Amino acid sequence: MPHKSSLPAYAKSLHKKLSDPSTAAAFIRNGIEADVAALIQWDKLRLVPGSFINEDRRHLEADLLFCAPFAENEVFLYLLLDLDVDEDTGVGDRMRVYMERIGEMWVQTHGNSRPQPVIMPALVPIFLE
């Protein structure tokens, strides 16, 4: 989670609203194909604590990670709130790194005792006022 003073107030407000699993479910569900969304148990969506973004980007990014049962496994739904989308072409590379960190967290927590969850990333552009 970003430092309290690192993001503009409107971005912090959006981050706080999206931290609520029911609000996040309504937001995320609209961006996923209906047949895939039907496999996610939205009523069991939960926020996973922590952040995967680079320390030096905390004034430009915030992230949220949710987990829910998905088919016969689990799914991580990763939201990257980014204030730098217009000017930064490296967002794809950063997203890949953040997803790798999520995978590493899973392995550290669970080892290889079960399959890793699917990771579905979403970029949420936050435009400067």
Domain-by-domain residue ranges, the chain? Answer: 9-125
Alpha helix stretches (DSSP H) within the chain:
9-18, 21-29, 34-37, 91-110
pLDDT at 23: 96
The structure tokens 């016969």 sit at: 72
pLDDT at 5: 46
pLDDT at 88: 60
List, for residues 37-60, the tens digit of each pLDDT value: 999 999 999 999 999 998 888 888
- Beta-carbon contacts of residue 24 (< 8 Å; ≥ 6 apart): 18, 45, 47, 64, 66, 77, 79
pLDDT under 50 in the chain at which residues?
1-5
pLDDT at 89: 66
